[in-house]
Amino acid sequence: MPQDAFTLRLVAKELDTVLRGGRVNKIAQPGREEVSLLIYTGKGTLKLLLSANASACGAYFTEAERENPLFAPGFCMLLRKYLQSAELLSVTTPGFERVLLFRFRCVSDFSEKERILCAEIMGKYSNLLLLEDGVILGALKTNSLDENCKRLVFAGAKYTPPAPQDKVDPSDLAALQTLFSENPDRGADFLFKRVKGLAPCTAQEIVETFRGGDFATHVHNFIFSDDISPCVLERDGEPVDFVARGRGIPFDTLSAAQSYYYAKKGAKRAFDNGKRKLDAALRTAVKKAEKRLAALLDKKLSCADMEQDRIKGELLTANLYALSRGMKTCELLNFYDENCNTLSISLDAQKSPSENAQAYFKKYRKEKRTLEALAPQVETTEAELEYLRSLTAALSVADSADDLASIEAELVAAGLLPEPKEKIKKQKPEIPYRLYEVAGFRICAGRNNLQNDRLLRQSAPDDIWLHAQKYHSCHVVIKADGRAIPDNVLQFSANVCAKYSDGGGDKIPVDYCLVKFVKKPPKSKAGFVTYSNFKTLLGDPSGV
């Protein structure tokens, strides 16, 4: 992300050309570290986003709609107080620094003032400050005297620019020539370390575009030329950087390139964060279910000697005549054993032989009742665990915001995530299925278990239903509309089913049958069905 002085100089020129003379209509603070200004320029209204976020700092136009907090933060209220309806006079950079100065003329009923909104675009040190006559009126990020800071950033303090770098200023051609005459190094790393205001990618581009002659002049001309070719660099479909001059996805303006880059990065970050949140909730639920199942199975295991207790009671009852109070153990012939071996039985010396026999019968009855109570609990817990694993499988193949939204809705419905604090009055539209069309046939695939059930309900009896064999997968339905299904359509649908399954192989067995042979048992978990009259073919995940 080359938010260096080279790029910001071009950004300032671009913003100044478009916004000069515009008036501030609206000010908002949609994020903790970003401010948006709605500016009317006479040709239309533009939304300028100023971000001081460490990983997304910058100044660019955006059309993205962001939800603002219910109560405006303090810095936003300060800007509204001092900049509302102000006229933007200019956008400049002071010297060759990573700072943008937005100069405003602010007129009220009682005064006319010039104020500067200062955007320091410096990675993790980025900040937004409002200045008047060199004094800070307020800042997005402030410090205090107790923090022993080199720069004081709080209301009422005199504004001090960031400390300059101990590097050569590229605007001084003579200094550049002296630098390169004393140092023969012409590498990008040397440029980055010794020349002020250059990001590594900018230094690399300067080196790559050098075609001979005086290197110092080339560096100076490259940096201060107004020629731009904004583009975004991508790798495997993911944006990795944007540059003012380079080779990548071209854009008309630097602002458009930044907006595209940050929007895609923000969407990817939101997707990853959302997926991690859902994964954490599922892992917790699975861990609890596994712990509960283990406890039930331990109880079941403790009742494994139930029949032995009954036998001991029977043997004691049959041999009461040979036993007496005070005995601690006895050896009795076990007539239940095919070899008629003797069985050693522990006795309570304080009880009579009859009372010892009844104690064994009581223990037997208790263990029998325990087993009868455990059976449905084990069955329910195993079904719940299987359901959670199906959700985990759906989350593992989720590849879009719609996928996450559908899984999150299911987790909320299942009580695994809390209901949103703010109830939305307007009902959200249903998230669509994954849709494909092959040879004129519509193919629908559910994104989660709730969608799988809905898809089954909305399908006709003669539609074709598919599901991975012995794996968790999405439910896929081919809309037949009374037509015979060609083999290529069936194969593609099996490939979709295999792709969105947890099979993890090159070839996944996929069962298919008519929808009329698919049944959902009463009170079963979402996504659980039984089916019959099916056939099987191999699905290839790479075939989608």
| Model pLDDT, residue 428 | 58
Rounded-to-integer distance, Cα 34 and Cα 466, Å: 48
- Of 231, 239, 258, nearest to 49 by C-alpha is 258
Q: What is the DSSP string of 93-144?
A: -STTSSEEEEEEEEE-SS-EEEEEEEEE--GGG-EEEEEETTEEEEESS---
450-462 per-position pLDDT tens digit: 899 999 999 999 9
Domains of the chain: 5-147 (2.30.310.10), 173-256 (no CATH), 303-387 (no CATH), 434-543 (no CATH)
Q: What are phi and psi of 100, to 5 degrees?
A: -110, 130
The arithmetic mean of pLDDT across residues 272-294, rounded, is 93
Choose the weakest-confidence range: 80-89, 184-193, 311-320. Answer: 184-193
| Model pLDDT, residue 422 | 54
> What confidence category does residue 505 fall into, taking pLDDT thresholds of 50, 70 and 90?
confident
* Rg, C-alpha atoms of the chain: 37
**With left for phi above 0 and alpha for psi between -120 and 50, is residue 390 left, alpha or beta?**
alpha
- Structure-block tokens of residue 173: 């051609």
Is 236 a residue whose pLDDT tops 50?
yes
- DSSP category for residue 391: H
Is 248 a residue whose pLDDT tops 90?
no
| Model pLDDT, residue 427 | 52
Q: At what angle do helices 449-457 and 401-413 cross, to 10 degrees?
A: 90
Average pLDDT, the chain: 90
Scanning the structure block, which residue is given the tokens 């009902």? 427
Is 147 a residue whose pLDDT tops 70?
no
| Model pLDDT, residue 424 | 45
Is 149 a residue whose pLDDT tops 80?
no
319-355 per-position pLDDT tens digit: 998 899 999 999 998 888 888 899 999 999 999 999 9
> What confidence category does residue 504 fall into, taking pLDDT thresholds of 50, 70 and 90?
confident
- DSSP category for residue 321: G
Is 423 a residue whose pLDDT tops 50?
no
CA 424 to chain centre: 22
Q: In this prediction, what percent of the chain has a pLDDT beyond 70? A: 97
- Structure-block tokens of residue 541: 């995940």
Choose the weakest-confidence range: 63-67, 347-351, 473-477. Answer: 63-67
| Model pLDDT, residue 425 | 42
Q: At what angle do helices 401-413 and 254-302 cross, to 10 degrees?
A: 30
70-87 per-position pLDDT tens digit: 889 999 999 999 999 999
Is 27 a residue whose pLDDT tops 90?
yes
The arithmetic mean of pLDDT across residues 39-68, rounded, is 90
Of the two residues 544 and 374, the one the predictor is more confident about is: 374
- Of 34, 432, 482, nearest to 259 by C-alpha is 34
First-to-last alpha carbon distance for the chain, in angstroms, is 34
Is 50 a residue whose pLDDT tops 70?
yes
Is 500 a residue whose pLDDT tops 80?
yes
Rounded-to-integer distance, Cα 541 and Cα 500, Å: 8
Cβ within 8 Å of residue 429, ≥6 positions away: none
- Structure-block tokens of residue 420: 């949103």
* Model pTM above 0.85: no
| Model pLDDT, residue 464 | 95
